[in-house]
């Protein structure tokens, strides 16, 4: 039972059905028709929904038209539409005019627009499904700023993993168990006092410090594994360089963190160091002087492993275990040895029971662990990761942290691009700050 004016945070481990419950409140389940339903749900009035992914909830090319979309659908007369659009846009602090192209907006701005689109319908309750989970810290801050203004005297139900960031937006917390059912319900203070440890163990980001990295074992040898010199790169068709004159050295047993705002060139640099893109000037070489960008892929994966931000982009087979054998096989290992390596990795990653599953059906945390394992399977000297902890729950975060520290302690050269200040603090021996494609 949620009263008018209450702002509720819905918590629970992955797979407990938070998003499903939210979809039910939005009246979106009846139409999909899949699964079994029991019980009833009553809503006094209408609901407005904001989803997680900024790329798949805007419909039209111009910002104003997009906010008007819902109003057109519900048959609001044209004479009234534009004043409601303007009110909604100013309520979320949208900084541009109605004609602004939605394609030109940042992730945080797109989410603000999505909130305006929901508000314009004057819903009795606002439903927010992890509205900041897909955003970088700056974008998330933009959206929280907008929500702070918007939620002042509204009814709202929010699903969110990172509680510290939602805490000042809500006044009641409801915790759902993995199998369904409410475990805790009350003010944030009370719920966290009584359930804090259990919530943290379930992977939820409770207020307080994040998991810490295990202490370093042994001393790094500092031998050079990969050396990138004076890299300049422009994407095809672009007149501006994404990177200009960047140099970086990866050493055995040490960690380099690539930091900087969105669009500063972190991801491009990670692709270049990984030997996946060919620089327009400069080169990335291994200890033996081989130019990584010119190596065959099967030779490259013995030297450098790359992990992409979205694990799904790098799955190439239909079974978890095949994902782990394909690299060693391509690099020339015998099938039996590849199989043994794969089983070892499955065990270490806690995926042993999922060997025959399709990689696309795994949970977010499992996909992330599998994608790191695929890169480790060929035992490369260096590991390059793009946002390895992005949108992960607290448990997966801790596991990734331990995994990376272990790789480093075994003498691997580690490099990652990240917005996550905790991860950078926990692991980085050296920080490379990028600003508009140049090192600071």
Partner 1 sequence: MAKLGGAAALFLALFLAIDPVTPAIILIVLLAALPASGLAPRALLTRAAPLALAAASIALFNMLFGDGGIAGGIAVGLRLLAIGVAGLLSLATIDPTDLADALIEHVGAPPRFAIGTLAAFRLLPIFAHEWQTIGLARRARGIDESSLGDRLRGFAERTLALLVGAIRRAARLATAMDARGFDSGLPRTCARPRALRAGDRAWLACAILLASGATAVSVALGTWRFVLGQ
Positions touching partner 1 (CB under 8 A) are 23, 26, 28, 31, 48-49, 51, 53, 55-62, 65, 68-78, 81-82, 85, 102-103, 114, 117-118, 121, 271, 274, 276-277, 296-298, 300-301, 305-308, 310, 312-316, 326-327, 330-331, 360, 374-375, 378
Between CA 85 and CA 307 the distance in angstroms is 42
For the chain, the residue count is 440
Choice between 16 and 102, CB closer to partner 1 = 102
d(CA 227, CA 218) in angstroms, rounded, equals: 23
Quick one: 232 or 314, whose CB is closer to partner 1?
314
Closest CB to partner 1 among 51 and 416?
51
Q: Which C-beta is closer to partner 1: that of 81 or that of 434?
A: 81
Rounded CA-CA distance 40/216 in Å is: 54
Name the strand (E) or helix (H) holding 34.
Answer: none
Q: How far apart are CA 347 and CA 410, in angstroms?
A: 18
Shortest distance in whole angstroms from residue 87 CB to partner 1: 14
Rounded-to-integer distance, Cα 421 and Cα 313, Å: 25
Nearest to 48 by CA among 78, 25, 72: 25
Of 188 and 265, nearer to partner 1 (C-beta) is: 265
How many of the other CB atoms lie within 10 Å of CB of 18? 23
Least separation in angstroms between residue 73's CB and partner 1 is 4
Helix (H) or strand (E) holding 377: none
CA distance readout (Å), 5 to 24, 125, 152, 165: 20, 9, 9, 20
CB of 326 to partner 1, least distance (A): 7
Residue 16 or 325 with smaller CB distance to partner 1: 325
DSSP letter assigned to residue 104: G
Q: Between residues 333 and 394, which has the closer beta carbon with respect to partner 1?
A: 333
The dihedral built from the CA positions of residue 429, 434, 438 and 440, taken in this order, carries a sign that is: negative
The pair phi, psi for residue 381, each rounded to 5°, is -75, -25
Q: How far is the CB of 296 from partner 1 (least distance, A)?
A: 5
| Residue whose C-alpha is closest to residue 230's, from 308, 178, 283 | 283
Q: Rank residues 180 and 360 by Cβ distance to partner 1 and give the closer one.
A: 360
Give the residue with the Cβ less far from partner 1, 184 or 276. Answer: 276
Shortest distance, CB of residue 202 to partner 1, whole angstroms?
Answer: 25
At its nearest, how many Å lie between partner 1 and the CB of residue 75?
5
Nearest to 221 by CA among 255, 256, 257, 254: 254
If 0-12 CB within 10 Å is exposed, 13-18 middle and 19+ buried, where does residue 106 land?
middle
Q: Which is nearer to partner 1, 51 or 192 (CB)?
A: 51
From the CB of 189, what's the least distance to partner 1, in Å? 32
Q: Kind of pairing, strands 413-417 and 47-50?
A: unpaired
Least gap, CB of 406 to partner 1 (angstroms): 21
> Shortest distance, CB of residue 185 to partner 1, whole angstroms?
26
Q: In this structure, what token pair is assigned to residue 11?
A: 């918590």
Q: Which two tokens stand for residue 109?
A: 């701005």
Q: How far is the CB of 310 from partner 1 (least distance, A)?
A: 8
**Cβ 368 to partner 1, closest distance in Å?**
14
| Contact residues for 31 (Cβ-Cβ < 8 A; gap 6+) | none
**Which CB atom, from 271 or from 405, has the smaller least distance to partner 1?**
271
For 76, the 3-state DSSP assignment is: coil
Identify any residues that bridge with 383 across adjacent strands, giving them in sequence order. 305, 414
């Amino acid at each position: 039972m949620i009263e008018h004016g209450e702002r509720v945070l819905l918590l629970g481990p992955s797979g407990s059905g938070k998003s499903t419950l939210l979809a039910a409140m939005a009246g979106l389940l009846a139409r999909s028709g899949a699964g079994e339903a029991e019980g009833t749900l009553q809503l006094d009035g209408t609901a407005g929904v904001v989803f997680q992914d900024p790329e798949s909830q805007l419909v039209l090319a111009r910002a104003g038209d997009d906010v008007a979309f819902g109003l057109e659908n519900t048959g609001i007369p044209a004479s009234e539409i534009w004043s409601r659009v303007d009110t909604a846009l100013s309520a979320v602090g949208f900084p541009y005019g109605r004609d602004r192209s939605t394609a030109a907006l940042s992730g945080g701005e797109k989410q603000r627009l999505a909130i305006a689109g929901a508000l314009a319908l004057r819903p009795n309750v606002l439903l927010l499904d992890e509205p900041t989970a897909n955003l970088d810290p700056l974008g998330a801050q933009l959206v929280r700023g907008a929500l702070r203004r918007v939620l002042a005297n509204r009814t709202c139900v929010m699903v969110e993993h990172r509680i510290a960031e939602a805490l000042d937006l809500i006044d009641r917390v409801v915790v759902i168990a993995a199998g369904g059912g409410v475990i805790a319900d009350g003010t944030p203070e009370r719920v966290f006092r009584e359930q804090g440890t259990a919530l943290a163990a379930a992977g939820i980001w409770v207020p307080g410090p994040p998991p810490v990295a295990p202490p370093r074992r042994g001393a790094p040898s500092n031998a050079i594994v990969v050396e990138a010199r004076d890299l300049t790169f422009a994407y095809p068709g672009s007149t501006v360089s994404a990177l200009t004159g960047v140099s970086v050295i990866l050493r055995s047993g040490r960690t380099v963190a690539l930091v900087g705002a969105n669009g500063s060139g972190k991801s491009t640099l990670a692709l270049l160091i990984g030997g996946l893109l060919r620089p327009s000037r400069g080169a990335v070489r291994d200890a033996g002087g081989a130019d990584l960008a010119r190596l065959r892929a099967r030779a490259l994966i013995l030297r450098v492993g790359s992990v992409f931000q979205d694990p799904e982009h790098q799955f190439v087979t239909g079974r978890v275990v095949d994902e782990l054998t394909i690299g060693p096989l391509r690099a020339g290992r015998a099938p039996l040895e590849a199989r043994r390596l794969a089983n070892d990795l499955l065990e270490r990653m806690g995926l042993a029971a999922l060997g025959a599953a399709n990689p696309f059906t795994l949970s977010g945390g499992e996909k992330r662990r599998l994608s790191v394992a695929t890169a480790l399977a060929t035992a490369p000297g260096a590991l390059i990761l793009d946002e390895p902890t992005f949108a992960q729950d607290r448990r997966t975060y801790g596991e990734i942290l331990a995994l990376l520290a272990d790789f480093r302690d075994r003498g691997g050269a580690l490099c990652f691009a990240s917005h996550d200040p905790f991860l950078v603090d926990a692991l980085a021996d050296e920080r490379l700050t990028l600003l508009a494609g140049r090192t600071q």
